[in-house]
């Protein structure tokens, strides 16, 4: 980006208030309505793809299932069971709830039926009775070794459930990991629109933070604190652990970490990995890069620009490969092939991951090819329309000490369409340039 273009962008951003200043991107009360629509429209498809006829979610107070908020039992007190039965192209949801909470569930819950249970009722016997009557062929339960949010059924809950089931029903229990991955990875159009606005705001805030950098004085942690202050002002939450959001790095890569006291210097690339949460549910994950000019420079040195362009091209190659029907592994391999061609050092990170309810959401992992092994696990999952991904374009090179690297990782967010994929917000085309004090002279 030229100095003129950078100045123009800065002026525009200063003149226009940030998008969310006019009001929240998504109100806190949007989720119950969207959740109900997701159960009605997307859960039947997910159950069909996962080949399950019934799904059992056990909820409780204080140590609830990670998926409680997705099915409507986030306010559980006494232990409750939420059952979902596939009926043709639809799903019927039934809550077996302690009587004291059943009235509230009927008022706000997303299910078709709420059955109040008197104190002392054996919940698991009631679940077993409902399952026996439904005669499912496969029953999903939240136990998984590979999808953490599908592993909410505790050992004692599982033991109680299995004890109540007949031997024939016990044999039909399967992990819900396929069901959960298929269901949560696909977002409704309204959710994609929310994520578009949140992504635009995330990018804009990072641009704003870079305008406050003074080379030789500003530390990585100062950039992080600036963004955290803006988050508080705008009323948005964290996409991941607050101590590591944002992750600002101007020196050798530190991976997923916190910003440090390192002072930003001329010649540095600055990497900011940042995500916000809106409406209490939806999160972003975007990186923006700046380059610190030396005194008198008006553009980065040729070698710095070449590194940026190679990383950016990797991101564009990943986007072009991301389309319905491919595996996550295929997207990763396309970018790995380009990295080798471009002369990049290898990196441990996968190209990308689903994003939406968590920064690292469930669904196809855009990874695995860096290990030179066939597609397996989450990387073997098929990409579908409505899935949203955050993905990087990598270019890495050694930096001083043994094993240390600097990495360009051009991370953008995109949604899969019926024919391909499209960015949620305009991608970063040029480095944000940060001038250093000194005489103005052109670079030879």
Domain layout of the chain by residue ranges: 29-184, 186-435
- Residue 439's pLDDT is 58
CA distance 83 to 171: 18
Q: Which of 49-58, 179-188, 326-335, 391-400 has the lowest mean pLDDT?
A: 391-400
Q: What is the pLDDT of residues 113-172, one digit of tens each?
A: 999 999 899 999 999 999 999 999 999 999 999 999 999 999 999 999 999 999 999 999
Half-sphere exposure for 81 (CA within 13 Å, toward CB): 25
pTM, rounded to two decimals: 0.91
Given a cut of 60, whether residue 5 has pLDDT beyond it is no
DSSP strand pairing (173-175 vs 139-141): parallel
CA distance 314 to 163: 52
- Residue 257's pLDDT is 84
Helices (H) and strands (E) in the chain, counts: 13, 19
- The stretch 190-209 carries a mean pLDDT of 97
Integer-rounded Cα radius of gyration of the chain:
24
Q: Which CATH code for domain 186-435?
A: 3.90.230.10
Chain centre distance of CA 44: 23
With beta carbons less than 8 A apart as the criterion, state whether 56 and 129 touch: no
Q: Which of 17-21, 90-94, 105-109, 239-243 has the lowest mean pLDDT?
A: 17-21
SS3 92: strand
Provide the 10 A C-beta neighbour count for residue 333. Answer: 22
- Residue 334's pLDDT is 97
Given a cut of 60, whether residue 94 has pLDDT beyond it is yes
Burial class (CB in 10 A: 0-12, 13-18, 19+), 145: exposed
- The stretch 66-70 carries a mean pLDDT of 97
Q: What is the pLDDT of residues 365-375, one digit of tens each?
A: 999 998 778 99
Q: What is the pLDDT of residues 343-371, one digit of tens each?
A: 999 998 999 999 999 999 999 999 999 87
More confident residue, 80 or 101: 80
Minimal CA–CA distance to 46: which of 91, 94, 81?
Answer: 91
Given a cut of 70, whether residue 16 has pLDDT beyond it is no
- The stretch 326-333 carries a mean pLDDT of 98
SS3 85: strand
Given a cut of 80, whether residue 10 has pLDDT beyond it is no
CATH H superfamily, domain 29-184: Creatinase/prolidase N-terminal domain (3.40.350.10)
With beta carbons less than 8 A apart as the criterion, state whether 417 and 313 touch: no
């Amino acid at each position: 980006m030229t100095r003129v273009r950078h100045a123009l962008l800065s002026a525009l951003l200063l003149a226009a208030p940030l998008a969310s200043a006019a009001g929240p991107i998504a109100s806190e009360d949007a989720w119950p309505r969207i959740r109900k629509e997701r159960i009605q429209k997307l859960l039947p498809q997910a159950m069909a793809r996962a080949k399950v006829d019934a799904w059992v979610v056990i909820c409780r107070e204080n140590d609830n299932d990670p998926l409680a908020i997705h099915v409507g039992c986030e306010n559980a007190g006494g232990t409750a069971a939420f059952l979902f039965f596939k009926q043709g192209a639809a799903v019927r949801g039934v809550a077996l709830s302690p009587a004291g909470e059943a009235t509230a569930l009927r008022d706000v819950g997303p299910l078709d039926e709420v059955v109040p249970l008197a104190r002392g009722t054996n919940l698991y016997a009631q679940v077993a009775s409902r399952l026996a009557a439904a005669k499912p062929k496969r029953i999903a339960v939240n136990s998984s070794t590979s999808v953490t949010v599908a592993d909410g059924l505790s050992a004692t809950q599982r033991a109680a459930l299995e004890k109540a089931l007949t031997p024939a029903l016990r044999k039909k229990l399967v992990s819900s990991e396929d069901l959960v991955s298929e269901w949560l990875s696909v977002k409704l159009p309204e959710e994609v629109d929310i994520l578009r606005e949140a992504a635009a705001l995330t990018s804009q805030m990072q641009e704003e933070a870079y305008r406050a950098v003074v080379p030789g004085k500003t530390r990585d942690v100062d950039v992080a604190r600036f963004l955290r202050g803006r988050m508080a002002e705008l009323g948005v939450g964290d996409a991941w652990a607050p101590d590591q959001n944002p992750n600002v790095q101007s020196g050798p890569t530190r991976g997923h970490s916190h910003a440090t006291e390192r002072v930003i210097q001329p010649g540095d690339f600055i990497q900011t990995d940042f995500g916000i949460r809106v409406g209490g549910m939806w999160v972003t994950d975007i990186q923006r890069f700046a380059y610190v000019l030396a005194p008198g420079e008006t553009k980065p040195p040729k070698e710095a620009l070449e590194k940026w362009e190679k990383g950016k091209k990797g991101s564009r190659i990943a986007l072009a490969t991301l389309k319905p029907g491919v595996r996550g592994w295929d997207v990763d391999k396309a970018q790995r092939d380009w990295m080798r061609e471009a002369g990049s050092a290898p990196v441990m990170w996968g190209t990308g991951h689903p994003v939406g309810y968590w920064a690292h959401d469930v669904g196809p992992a855009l990874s695995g090819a860096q290990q030179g092994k066939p597609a397996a696990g989450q990387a073997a999952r098929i990409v579908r329309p409505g899935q949203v991904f955050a993905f990087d374009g990598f270019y890495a090179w050694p930096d001083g000490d043994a094993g240390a690297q600097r990495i360009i990782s051009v991370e953008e967010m995109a949604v899969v369409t019926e024919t391909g994929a499209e960015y949620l917000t305009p991608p970063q085309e040029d480095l944000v340039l940060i001038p250093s004090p000194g005489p103005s002279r052109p670079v030879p």
